[in-house]
């Protein structure tokens, strides 16, 4: 489904603000394309539970070629969604990676067929805690079984089967998206021609689990959370979720970037006010981040998806050996990190590269110089764009994918 088709499906007089008033509907009947599965396509989760039925919401961009060889799966991060290169129906904002993905962009939708699906446990149309539990007619809430990164990837694989795509030309993603990329290469090595994990890690660190736990406790401490049953009560743990987002947001930035962007600058005032208003620009900025986030994200979904990241430990299934996870991998890897990223520091990416080298896999590695912290992967970072473009161009040549009309191979 292209960006234009999505726009057509939205009633033309329905503004983003009006849609936002009823974001809950996006969980069951998303603005994007959605596929429903059950029966022999029931989803057996890592927890041992079976989801039947379940659904997955996704967007596509570009055209699948005759060989079905030009498909790229883009995996989104913690609070991302399927709208990688088209406007988010709740916020009206451009796709979250439209700098990287689109016509003529490094992930060129004139050349490649790009698929991006909302993750399992998400809240924009793929089965998650905000979805209706078909067995009860109520929201799943905390009755939904916990999901893992591997479960998210399993769900995506079923979708690709359904779309008739046997092999992905590439899987690309940053942060939690990068975790999915790595999981794809391990779970389905024969289906992944190339893989681009950016600002990611093969396991979630103790410090990162700690930050996630703070966020979850902030949500659960909000009395409007109601044990996850806020929908039925007609309330919403907005304050708790905003605090969670504020704490997380600090970890997405870097100390130097904060210093450069905000320093100790005051917000619309000449002097400190000796009070608890947002005297400093950084406070005002964080509060805004917290408030806007609650408009577009489900609090229970935040619990589920952070937990999936915490549980991620790629080596755990291989006796703790990361190289064994990648043994005999036919995939070409391009691993990327950012110098100022302290949430997923370069050392984590290097551990992946080291394991890939130990497994004699095909891997290139680029550490991008940037002072923007973890968030850099979502921003205008020319070196990242050049690296993705160069890597995909080379891989496409090896894969025999035709260059775009008028473009160079």
Location of structure tokens 């191979």: 409
Nearer to a copy of itself, 115 or 243 (CB): 243
CA dist 64 and 114 (Å) reads 8
Binding residues for a copy of itself, rule CB under 8 A, total: 56
Location of structure tokens 């969604």: 81
Q: Shortest gap between Cβ of 365 and a copy of itself (angstroms)?
A: 21
Among 139, 204, 332, 372, binds a copy of itself (CB under 8 A): 204
Is 99 near a copy of itself (CB under 8 A)? Answer: no
Q: Shortest gap between Cβ of 233 and a copy of itself (angstroms)?
A: 15
Q: Shortest gap between Cβ of 146 and a copy of itself (angstroms)?
A: 4
Coil vs helix vs strand at 135: coil
| 340 catalytically annotated | no
Q: Shortest gap between Cβ of 206 and a copy of itself (angstroms)?
A: 4
Is-contact 94 87, C-beta < 8 A? yes
Four-point Cα dihedral 255, 294, 60, 307, nearest 10: 70
Is-contact 121 152, C-beta < 8 A? yes
CA dist 303 and 217 (Å) reads 9
Q: Shortest gap between Cβ of 136 and a copy of itself (angstroms)?
A: 19
CA dist 322 and 366 (Å) reads 20
CA dist 359 and 326 (Å) reads 6
Among 201, 290, 322, 336, binds a copy of itself (CB under 8 A): 290
Q: Shortest gap between Cβ of 3 and a copy of itself (angstroms)?
A: 35
Which residues ranging from 101 to 160 are in contact with a copy of itself (CB under 8 A)?
142, 145-146
Is 44 near a copy of itself (CB under 8 A)? Answer: no
Binding to a copy of itself by CB under 8 A, coded x per residue (else -) over 345-384, reads x---------------------------------------
Is 143 annotated to bind a ligand? Reply is: no
CA dist 117 and 344 (Å) reads 23
Is 218 near a copy of itself (CB under 8 A)? Answer: yes
Coil vs helix vs strand at 161: helix
In the structure, how many helices (H) and strands (E) does the chain have? 14, 12
CA atoms within 13 Å, Cβ hemisphere of 267: 14
| 341 catalytically annotated | yes
Which residues ranging from 157 to 186 are in contact with a copy of itself (CB under 8 A)?
none
Is 255 near a copy of itself (CB under 8 A)? Answer: yes
Is-contact 162 117, C-beta < 8 A? no
Is-contact 243 224, C-beta < 8 A? no
| 374 catalytically annotated | yes
Catalytic residue among 175, 187, 254, 329: 175
Is 375 annotated to bind a ligand? Reply is: yes
Among 12, 137, 234, 275, binds a copy of itself (CB under 8 A): 275
Q: What are phi and psi of 347, to 5 degrees?
A: -55, -35
The total number of residues written for the chain in this structure: 409
Q: Which two tokens stand for residue 394?
A: 């080379």
Among 206, 270, 382, 406, binds a copy of itself (CB under 8 A): 206
Nearer to a copy of itself, 266 or 389 (CB): 266
Among 101, 242, 334, 396, binds a copy of itself (CB under 8 A): 242
Which residues ranging from 303 to 322 are in contact with a copy of itself (CB under 8 A)?
303, 307, 310-311, 313
Is 239 near a copy of itself (CB under 8 A)? Answer: yes
Is 9 near a copy of itself (CB under 8 A)? Answer: no
Q: Which two tokens stand for residue 383?
A: 């070196």
CA dist 28 and 128 (Å) reads 9
CA distances from 313 to 141, 187, 293, 317 (A): 26, 13, 28, 8
CA dist 178 and 357 (Å) reads 18
Residues marked as catalytic: 175, 341, 374
**Residues tagged in the binding site annotation for substrate:** 245, 375
Give the footprint of a copy of itself on this chain (CB under 8 A).
46-47, 142, 145-146, 203-207, 209-211, 213-214, 216-218, 220-223, 239-240, 242-243, 246-247, 250, 253, 255, 258-259, 261-264, 272, 274-276, 278-280, 282-283, 286-287, 290, 303, 307, 310-311, 313, 342, 345
């Amino acid at each position: 489904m292209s960006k234009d088709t999505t726009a057509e499906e939205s009633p033309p007089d329905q503004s983003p603000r009006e849609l936002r008033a009823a974001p809950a509907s996006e969980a069951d009947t998303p603005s994007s394309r959605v596929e429903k599965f059950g029966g022999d396509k029931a989803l057996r989760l890592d927890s041992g539970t079976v989801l039947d039925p379940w659904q997955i919401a996704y967007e596509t961009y570009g055209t699948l070629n005759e060989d079905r060889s030009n498909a790229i799966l883009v995996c989104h991060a913690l609070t991302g969604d399927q709208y990688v290169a088209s406007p988010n129906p709740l916020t009206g904002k451009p796709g979250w990676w439209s700098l990287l993905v689109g016509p003529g962009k490094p992930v060129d939708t004139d050349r490649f067929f790009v698929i991006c699906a909302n993750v399992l446990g998400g809240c924009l149309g793929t089965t998650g805690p905000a979805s209706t539990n078909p067995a009860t007619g109520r929201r799943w809430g905390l009755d939904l079984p916990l999901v893992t990164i591997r479960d998210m990837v399993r769900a995506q694989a079923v979708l690709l089967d359904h779309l008739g795509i046997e092999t992905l030309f590439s899987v690309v993603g940053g942060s939690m998206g990068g975790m999915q990329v790595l999981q794809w290469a391990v779970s389905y090595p024969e289906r992944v021609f190339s893989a681009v994990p950016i600002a990611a890690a093969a396991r979630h660190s103790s410090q990162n689990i700690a930050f996630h736990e703070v966020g979850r406790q902030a949500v659960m401490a909000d009395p409007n959370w109601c044990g996850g049953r806020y929908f039925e009560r007609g309330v919403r743990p907005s304050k708790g979720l905003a605090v969670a987002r504020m704490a997380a947001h600090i970890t997405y930035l870097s100390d130097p970037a904060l210093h450069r962007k905000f320093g100790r600058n005051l917000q619309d005032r000449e002097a400190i006010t000796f009070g608890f208003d947002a005297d400093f620009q950084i406070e005002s900025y964080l509060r805004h981040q917290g408030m806007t986030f609650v408009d577009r994200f489900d609090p229970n979904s935040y619990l589920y998806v952070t937990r999936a990241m915490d549980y991620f430990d790629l080596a755990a299934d291989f006796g703790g050996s990361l190289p064994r996870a990648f043994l005999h991998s036919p995939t070409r890897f391009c691993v990327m990190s950012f110098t100022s990223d302290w949430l997923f520091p370069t050392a984590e990416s290097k551990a992946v590269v080291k394991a890939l080298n130990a497994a004699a896999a095909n891997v290139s590695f680029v550490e991008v110089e940037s002072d923007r912290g973890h968030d850099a992967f979502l921003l205008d970072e020319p070196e990242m764009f050049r690296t993705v473009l160069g890597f995909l161009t080379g891989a496409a040549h090896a894969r025999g994918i035709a260059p775009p009309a008028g473009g160079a191979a």
